[in-house]
Copies of this chain bind each other. A is one copy, B any other.
Amino acid sequence: MARWEPNARERLERAALDLFVERGYESTTAAEIAERAGLAKSTFFRHFADKREVLFGSQDRLNGVFAEAITGAPGTAAPIEALGAALEAVATFFGRERHAWAHRRRAVVESSADLRERELLKLAALTAAMAGALRGRGVPDPAASLAAELGCLAFRNAYARWAEPANEREFADLARQELADLAAATATLTTGA
C-alpha cells in the first residue's frame, strides 16, 4: 500500500546488504539496519520474521515459479525434462542487472554459519516444492524425491557458478549444462571404479 516513504521493505533489504558487506553480518545490528533505512527496529521485525530473512526474500519467490513450470511441462516429458523446463523458467530471475547484487549477497551468506543454515532451509523448501510438483505429474515417490534432489543440486551449482564475479555466461546456459552433467553422472553410480 506504500505510504510515507514507500518501499520500506526494499529499503531495509538494501540497507541490510550494504551494512553486512561493510561490517559483516554478525557485527551488524537489526536496529542499525532499520536506522539506515530510516525506520525503527520494531518496523524491521514487522517486515522480516528474523534478521536472516532480510536476505532471502527473493529465494522464496522462486519456489512457486519452479513448481508451476514443472506442473506446466508437457505431459509426456520425463522428470528430468520437466526439471530442465523449470530451470529455464527461473532464468528470468537471473538477468545481468542482478549479477552484482547476487554476488554481494552470496558472499555475505557464505560468510556466516547462521546464513548458510538458513539457505539450506530455503533449498529444502525448494526441493519439497519440486518434489510435490513432480508427484502431481504422476511421478511416484522415491523417484520424485530423488529427481527433486537432483534438480535442486543442479540449481545450486548453476547459481553458484552464475554468481561468480568473473562469470559471463547466462544462467539458463549454466543450468542446462549442470543438469546434463548430473543426468550423465547417474549412469556411473552403479559402476565399479
Contacts and interface: CB of A to CB of B under 8 A. Distances in A.
Interface of A: 75-81, 116-118, 120-121, 124, 137-139, 142-143, 145-147, 149-150, 153, 178, 181-186, 188-193
A81 B189 CA distance: 9
B143 A80 contact: no
**10 residue pairs, one from A and one from B, having the closest CB atoms:** A143-B185, A142-B185, A120-B120, A142-B181, A76-B192, A117-B121, A186-B186, A78-B192, A143-B188, A79-B189
A14 to B, nearest CB: 26
Contacts of A139: 188, 193
Contact of A183 (B77, B80, B137, B189): B189
A68 to B, nearest CB: 18
A77 B75 CA distance: 38
Contacts of A181: 142
A153 B145 contact: yes
A78 B143 CA distance: 21
Contact of A190 (B149, B183, B185): B183
B153 A189 contact: no
B120 A189 contact: no
Contacts of A190: 78-80, 183
A1 B97 CA distance: 57
